[in-house]
Amino acid sequence: MAQTGNNGFRHSTSLVVLDPIVRKPATMTQQFASDNYAGTCPEAWAAMQQANAGSVAAYGEDEWTTRAANAFRTLFGTDCEVFFAFNGTAANSLALAALCQSYNSVICSSCAHVETDECGAPEFFSNGSKLLAARNNSAKLTPDVIHALATCRGDIHYPKPRAVTITQPTETGELYTLAEIQAISTTCRSLGLRLHMDGARFANACAALGCSPADMTWKAGVDVLCFGGTKNGMAVGEAIVFFDKTLAEGFDYRCKQAGQLASKMRFLSAPWVGMLESGAWLKNAAHANGCARQLERAIAQVPGITLMFPVQANAVFVQGPEGFLDRLRAKGWRFYTFIGGGARFMFAWDAQPEQVDALAADIRAACA
Amino acid sequence: MAQTGNNGFRHSTSLVVLDPIVRKPATMTQQFASDNYAGTCPEAWAAMQQANAGSVAAYGEDEWTTRAANAFRTLFGTDCEVFFAFNGTAANSLALAALCQSYNSVICSSCAHVETDECGAPEFFSNGSKLLAARNNSAKLTPDVIHALATCRGDIHYPKPRAVTITQPTETGELYTLAEIQAISTTCRSLGLRLHMDGARFANACAALGCSPADMTWKAGVDVLCFGGTKNGMAVGEAIVFFDKTLAEGFDYRCKQAGQLASKMRFLSAPWVGMLESGAWLKNAAHANGCARQLERAIAQVPGITLMFPVQANAVFVQGPEGFLDRLRAKGWRFYTFIGGGARFMFAWDAQPEQVDALAADIRAACA
Amino acid sequence: MAQTGNNGFRHSTSLVVLDPIVRKPATMTQQFASDNYAGTCPEAWAAMQQANAGSVAAYGEDEWTTRAANAFRTLFGTDCEVFFAFNGTAANSLALAALCQSYNSVICSSCAHVETDECGAPEFFSNGSKLLAARNNSAKLTPDVIHALATCRGDIHYPKPRAVTITQPTETGELYTLAEIQAISTTCRSLGLRLHMDGARFANACAALGCSPADMTWKAGVDVLCFGGTKNGMAVGEAIVFFDKTLAEGFDYRCKQAGQLASKMRFLSAPWVGMLESGAWLKNAAHANGCARQLERAIAQVPGITLMFPVQANAVFVQGPEGFLDRLRAKGWRFYTFIGGGARFMFAWDAQPEQVDALAADIRAACA
Amino acid sequence: MAQTGNNGFRHSTSLVVLDPIVRKPATMTQQFASDNYAGTCPEAWAAMQQANAGSVAAYGEDEWTTRAANAFRTLFGTDCEVFFAFNGTAANSLALAALCQSYNSVICSSCAHVETDECGAPEFFSNGSKLLAARNNSAKLTPDVIHALATCRGDIHYPKPRAVTITQPTETGELYTLAEIQAISTTCRSLGLRLHMDGARFANACAALGCSPADMTWKAGVDVLCFGGTKNGMAVGEAIVFFDKTLAEGFDYRCKQAGQLASKMRFLSAPWVGMLESGAWLKNAAHANGCARQLERAIAQVPGITLMFPVQANAVFVQGPEGFLDRLRAKGWRFYTFIGGGARFMFAWDAQPEQVDALAADIRAACA
């Protein structure tokens, strides 16, 4: 089968015995390998179903798209520009390409998804903008780190820094405080840099910090946000939100040229209406965060267990004694180990608390 | 609202009065401006709904994706490589980029979607491969036209031709016969060119010609096909099918880097299962084609009416007397006029025959 | 041997019998196939020789480069930004890339060098900006043609026009009058388009029209000029002159990234000092133009001869009776036929009037 | 003045008082900031001068270019493919782009010129191929480092390694032994990687190791070499030599599209004839290497002086006591400090031994 990668469990036996399509397929035990293992939440689904009715103008000239864009404006309390893309790789890359020329560079953490998991997409979309990855052994950037990277070179033999990207929450499940974001944006302003936020799990950050989307973004100096819908409970789709509207000039053309303009746009935009108008975006995130804290509480004191990062959003990274990971896998759990070699558990809107308990029990057993 | 273009009716008043989301939105009268004005057909929807259950591995490592890929192999009767992309612009551009280096060129019709309606996407994805558009005043290429374009220059100051792309059915709703495709592929072989088929409406071609997908593609010498799902009745999604598997090397990486790898891939692949296993792909297309013929029959003899192209698939292009288009618009009909200035009507899986009759009646009245 | 193209006389026998390097190579009879068949003129050579002395800072931080840039400012009577690139393909492509984003398009003549002889370089450097070639059967654009191309589409499915490029003199050896340039720039302004001039033979245009470089460019509304040095008598090198300095932002980085920053820059810049300070740039061009007129006068009345375009700069395009071209070739003349199938003769700074007479005599004989 | 960078001495006062061009310009005291501060050596100059005579076919279809390509074949003792580019940034980037697709990656040292001093050119030319820079605190790669980088990820979210580039000698003036190159190429073969050698100072490596160009390249498993002409004594120009000729397919088009095809190619190729046929390429390099050893010997025992890297080619990197660099600068010396903060001295074909002595004396004094 094409288009599958080797992410560590490629060669496992079939997970799902598919019944004929008239019946419900048997599903695997709930897994927390990633929040994109989850399906579509009811609110997004219902909106998509409603949107399915009748003839609707294509390419975003429909009322669902208008309504979704307006829902973002209401959510952020400002007249931002909103675009819809298919996935996070494209959303991030397009946003950065809008900030940069090919000879510019983007400052990021060495853990940043744009650096580690997008297969060179930022360089591809921008036609060569180089990522300058910090070496501070943290998924979080700081003003000092940014300043150092932005000023270490000033000659034309090195790409000119033009943007900073931060992931909120980070790929390690950590959070920037509002003060930290503000300090970063102040540094950016002083250096002539634009600030991009990769919000693949933006809702989780809002739920965790209990602050408004506005506080976390434009009020703290963020220029453009990629707001993740997929991991928040949608089937597909991310939103790119420009708070500095001048940066959005031509972005509709940019999306089209890059293969990111949906013809039946309503199916990308209506789920956002369902998520934002119902409050599901925040409810889903809060639930996922709660499951992470549930697991943290259940295993924090287990002898031999190390929590690799503070549990601040919907992720828990766990290291255990020798053989720990293999014993967990033997019990049927699936997880990624690409950050620091520990097991990553990432909770979604549909995580079942009893399954979290089952995982905790298996973790304890695997440490014994 | 962002991400809307000016396609001729941008400034029209709102088409849809959206009710609160708990109620069904009022839809506009059925329109035939494009087959992407239609929603998702029941078979695709049901599969998507089934696929929504439970935890499923991401990025295509799921059984729905395997099953969908196998359904294509069964449909085409060969062990092809299958990839899933979000939309047709990306599918075509990625396929052509796989065939070409940046210094190559692609021979196409001057009416080809890749030339006229993808905003430079083929050049963007390939990093500069130039399209050589034929000037034979037809949406169909011929061996002679291809030969002339491929051989008119042989110096390094002009991009070296490497691929030919044909749209089946064409953007004008015309069909290549199997013999014509075979003749084109023979010409391609003799010139060292690869043959790509833009099958945004591939199903319509199969239904119209009554031939098998295999006969229309690899048996006729097509190297790679972009099989359109969206216009065939899906919410989103196209398949790229490589019959020459060596051309697919690295294509999974290419998709990923270009922002075309869905994390919750099941929502892109399951609808294909629904379409292909149920036969809906062909049923939908046959229905749409039938509506086009219904309109053709109803208006062919109307004085003042000219059918601009033979009606062979699901499109009808109409010219009428002075003021004709305005009178049609005044009756509420929406249509594109970008090909030859006439009105294009394009029928989808959901076209209602009584609405086709209503359109025919209004056309007759607009000629009076 | 690598890096040779098939330009029509690739397979001819060796032209040059090279002596051991201690002796002077035998040269072929002077040819007028192109003005890049000529060597380096004495003024450029002398400056290069002077520049060869001693240690000099690299990458343009030397006084020769400063002096060359200032010579351009003096020549144009304005404080323009000046950059030096290796060849015309790069100069044009970089200039257009500075004006455009990847989703923009560039309006040009169908005869424009950027369209016909740069192997997709503009699309490559810009990462996809499409060229919109006029179909007015002329190497000259007009305000009407530009207006039509710029406004025929306004939707996001088609790349947004952002620049116009004109070649002065054109690839057919014709000239835009100052009034024509002014009219074009006025049209550009009204449409939000930038105006680029491909001046591969800019000096020939100045000499022919007898106007100042300023009159021909910024005073007529040109935003950026590529001023050709190679065809004017240098060994290598073109200058990119930005009259609107805001457009030059980051252009130094753009040149570097695109492999167009010479380390020993003095060898690119010093020849310009030699050409501009001595007046050789204009003298060379006037001489070349004069040779074209000489040929024109000598053959204009020959029965059977057609001059394909008005002789206004340094090119003469000739058509003759059947067998004419073969008879000319048999007499040892080399020429290109890629425009309209006729013979192109292009005169350089070193054209010998007696050789022009010899060519004229052979043309007459070939018509007999 | 445009196109100047800030490389640490941008704002210094004028270095050169230029006399009117009829007289010889006063030059600055010889500097060893870089080997590209030197002019053109006599052998290259003489060939260029000879090549300047008469009409010569353009774009490489001339005998000088044939002769230069053949001189490379003779030098390497194999039927390689040879191309000529304007500078090293372009040569490296084009060679790597020929090896990679956009979704591939290139393994390099963190000190590699392609990573640190080409402003994102490799990513630009390849449309996104990511550089994977080793973190082994050395300018030299090893089989282990390559193996680790090539195998740390195998999923489609990370660009697929396809090439390794090594610089010989390295940016720190160190050499790979033939055995080391062979071990690297063996590792590359086992991993399916191609091996590129950045030979900006290739001649210096040959002179230092006393081995043949063949031994250092194709006999040791190098697939493609960028052979530097500029630093070896030419005004401009590098050669790209493909030992695996299948990799050169279409490379002539690639050069043309990327603005690297010289029209008056003889001026790029003839100097190579002069360099290679006379042996100047090796003589120049041996002289430069000798000056480096001269400096090394003169300062190695000076108290407070540290030689940062073994002196193996034409570079010497020096650290000294506090205030050392400032005192050296006060004496008029110019140098780069971008590697490790020490002073880099790089000797060229024209380095005068008495000037090297003068530098050594000033270094000693600056340590006192």
Predicted confidence (pLDDT) per residue in C296-307, tens digit? 999 999 999 999
Which residues of chain D are within 8 Å of residue C90 when distances are taken between CB atoms? 258-260
Chains in contact with D, where contact means 3 or more Cβ–Cβ distances below 8 Å, are A, B, C
The candidate with the shortest Cα–Cα distance to B275, out of B90, B82, B46, is B46
Residue in chain C nearest A124 by alpha carbon: C127
What pLDDT does B12 receive? 29
Instruction: Tell me the pLDDT tens digit for each residue of C326-352.
Output: 999 999 999 999 888 999 999 999 999
Alpha carbon distances (Å) from A38 to A234, A339, A350? 9, 21, 7
Last residue of a domain, one of D278, D310, D343: D278
Residue in chain C nearest B135 by alpha carbon: C135
Structure tokens at B305: 């009416």
Q: Per-residue confidence at C16, pLDDT binned at 50, 70, 90?
A: very low
- Within chain D, strands assigned E span 81-85, 104-108, 130-133, 160-167, 194-199, 224-228, 238-242, 306-307, 315-319, 343-346
**Is residue A299 helix, strand or coil?**
helix
Do C204 and C345 fall within a single domain?
Answer: no
Q: What is the dihedral of CA C39, C41, C46, C47, to 10 degrees?
A: -100
Structure tokens at D164: 């390794």
DSSP of C126-193: HTSPEEEE--SSSSS--HHHHHHHHHS--STTSPEEEEEEEESS-TTS----HHHHHHHHHHHHHHT-
Instruction: Tell me the pLDDT tens digit for each residue of C230-241.
Output: 999 999 999 999
Looking at per-residue confidence, does B29 or C117 come out higher? C117
CA distance C302 to chain A (A): 54
Distance (Å, whole) CA C172 – CA C162: 25
Do A48 and A98 fall within a single domain?
Answer: yes
Q: Is residue B169 reached through a cis peptide bond, with omega within 30 degrees of 0 on the bond before it?
A: yes
What pLDDT does A29 receive? 77
Q: Is residue D169 reached through a cis peptide bond, with omega within 30 degrees of 0 on the bond before it?
A: yes
What pLDDT does D327 receive? 97
Distance (Å, whole) CA B65 – CA B70: 8
Q: Which amino acid, A315?
A: A
Which residues of chain A are within 8 Å of residue B10 when distances are taken between CB atoms? 61
- Within chain A, strands assigned E span 81-85, 104-108, 130-133, 160-167, 194-199, 224-228, 238-242, 306-307, 315-319, 343-346
CB contact under 8 A, C256 and A103: yes
Q: Is residue C169 reached through a cis peptide bond, with omega within 30 degrees of 0 on the bond before it?
A: yes
The candidate with the shortest Cα–Cα distance to C328, out of B296, D49, C337, is C337
Distance (Å, whole) CA B168 – CA B181: 10
Distance (Å, whole) CA A330 – CA D336: 57
Do D195 and D299 fall within a single domain?
Answer: no
Is A14 part of a structural domain of the chain? no
Instruction: Specify the CATH number for the domain of residue A113.
Output: 3.40.640.10
Count of beta carbons in the 10 Å neighbourhood of residue C301: 8
Q: Which amino acid, B294?
A: Q
Q: What is the DSSP letter of D210?
A: T
Consecutive H or E run containing B97:
helix B88-99
- The backbone region for C120, taken as left when phi is positive above 0, alpha when psi lies in -120 to 50, beta otherwise, is left
Alpha carbon distances (Å) from D264 to D58, D213, D344? 5, 28, 36
Structure tokens at D32: 């060893």
Do C203 and C167 fall within a single domain?
Answer: yes
**Is residue C228 helix, strand or coil?**
strand
Q: Within 13 Å of residue D312, how many CA atoms lie on the same side as its CB?
A: 19
Q: Residue A111 in contact with residue A339, Cβ under 8 Å?
A: yes
Is B171 part of a structural domain of the chain? yes
* Closest CB from C24, C125, C258 relative to D50: C24
Distance (Å, whole) CA A193 – CA A108: 12
Do D321 and D198 fall within a single domain?
Answer: no
Do C93 and C194 fall within a single domain?
Answer: yes
Nearest-5° angle of CA B139, CA B144, CA B150?
95
Give C319's strand partners.
C306
Last residue of a domain, one of D225, D254, D278: D278
Do D361 and D245 fall within a single domain?
Answer: no
Q: Which amino acid, B136?
A: N
Chain B interface includes D11 (CB < 8 A): no
Chain B interface includes A268 (CB < 8 A): yes
Instruction: Tell me the pLDDT tens digit for each residue of B214-232.
Output: 999 999 999 999 999 999 9
Distance (Å, whole) CA C332 – CA C343: 13
Is B316 part of a structural domain of the chain? no
CA distance C279 to chain B (A): 32
The candidate with the shortest Cα–Cα distance to B168, out of B134, B214, B128, B204, is B204
Is B151 part of a structural domain of the chain? yes
Residues 6 or more apart whose CB falls under 8 angstroms from that of C345 comprise: C32, C33, C292, C295, C315, C316, C317, C318, C335, C359
Do C274 and C286 fall within a single domain?
Answer: no
> Which residues of chain A are modeled with pLDDT < 50?
1-27
Instruction: Tell me the pLDDT tens digit for each residue of D268-288.
Output: 999 999 999 999 999 999 999
What pLDDT does D29 receive? 77
Alpha carbon distances (Å) from D252 to A164, B19, D63, D98, D280? 38, 62, 17, 11, 28
Average pLDDT of the segment spanning C58-76: 97
Q: Residue D232 in contact with residue D213, Cβ under 8 Å?
A: no
Chain D interface includes A303 (CB < 8 A): no
**Positive or negative, the Cα torsion across B151, C116, D69, D129?**
negative
Q: What is the dihedral of CA C125, C126, C128, C130, to 10 degrees?
A: -110
Which residues of chain C are within 8 Å of residue A103 when distances are taken between CB atoms? 250, 253-254, 256-257
Do C59 and C100 fall within a single domain?
Answer: yes
Distance (Å, whole) CA B361 – CA B265: 44
Count of beta carbons in the 10 Å neighbourhood of residue A28: 18
Which residues of chain C are within 8 Å of residue B154 when distances are taken between CB atoms? 5-6
Chain A interface includes D9 (CB < 8 A): no
- SS3 track for D53-111: CCECCCCCCCHHHHHHHHHHHHHHCCCCEEEEECCHHHHHHHHHHHHCCCCEEEEECCC
CB contact under 8 A, B256 and D103: yes
Distance (Å, whole) CA C260 – CA C242: 17
> Which residues of chain D are modeled with pLDDT < 70?
1-28
Do C331 and C349 fall within a single domain?
Answer: yes
Instruction: Specify the CATH number for the domain of residue C336.
Output: 3.90.1150.10
Residue in chain B nearest D254 by alpha carbon: B103
Is D14 part of a structural domain of the chain? no
Count of beta carbons in the 10 Å neighbourhood of residue D330: 11
What pLDDT does D368 receive? 84
Which residues of chain A are within 8 Å of residue B2 when distances are taken between CB atoms? 60, 69, 81-83, 248, 251-252
Structure tokens at C107: 């309006």
Is D22 part of a structural domain of the chain? no
* Closest CB from A118, A128, A158 relative to D117: A158
Report phi then psi at A299, rounded to 5: -120, -5
What pLDDT does C14 receive? 30
Q: Is residue C353 reached through a cis peptide bond, with omega within 30 degrees of 0 on the bond before it?
A: no
Is C2 part of a structural domain of the chain? no
Range B113-116, long-range pairs (CB < 8 A, 24+ positions):
B113/B88, B113/B167, B113/B171, B113/B198, B113/B200, B114/B165, B114/B198, B116/B171, B116/B338, B116/C157, B116/C158
% of residues, chain C, pLDDT over 90: 90
CB contact under 8 A, A156 and C261: yes
Radius of gyration of chain B (CA): 21
The candidate with the shortest Cα–Cα distance to A226, out of A86, A25, A36, A40, is A86
Q: Residue A189 in contact with residue A163, Cβ under 8 Å?
A: no
CA distance B207 to chain A (A): 23
What pLDDT does D4 receive? 39
Structure tokens at A355: 């399954």
Chain B interface includes D192 (CB < 8 A): no
Range of the domain at B243: 42-279
The whole model's pTM is what? Answer: 0.94
> Chain C 107-126, CB below 8 Å of chain D: which residues?
118-121, 124-125
Is B147 part of a structural domain of the chain? yes
Q: Which amino acid, C14?
A: S
Which residues of chain D are within 8 Å of residue B99 when distances are taken between CB atoms? none
The tally of domains found in chain D comes to: 2
Q: Residue C161 in contact with residue C134, Cβ under 8 Å?
A: no
ipTM: 0.93
* Closest CB from B59, B103, B257 relative to D250: B103
Distance (Å, whole) CA A57 – CA B38: 9
Chain D interface includes C60 (CB < 8 A): yes
Residues 6 or more apart whose CB falls under 8 angstroms from that of D155 comprise: A5, A6, A7, A8
Do D320 and D354 fall within a single domain?
Answer: yes
CA distance A7 to chain C (A): 32
Residue holding tokens 């001489």?
C287
- Within chain C, strands assigned E span 81-85, 104-108, 130-133, 160-167, 194-199, 224-228, 238-242, 306-307, 315-319, 343-346
Structure tokens at C30: 């002077």
Distance (Å, whole) CA B56 – CA A253: 34
Do C265 and C309 fall within a single domain?
Answer: no
CA distance A4 to chain D (A): 8
Q: Within 13 Å of residue A229, how many CA atoms lie on the same side as its CB?
A: 31
Chains in contact with C, where contact means 3 or more Cβ–Cβ distances below 8 Å, are A, B, D
Distance (Å, whole) CA A357 – CA A360: 5
Give which of A158, A171, A337, A338 to mutate to test D binding, by max D Cβ within 10 Å: A158
> Which residues of chain B are modeled with pLDDT < 50?
1-27
Last residue of a domain, one of D278, D309, D337: D278
Residue holding tokens 């179909």?
C135
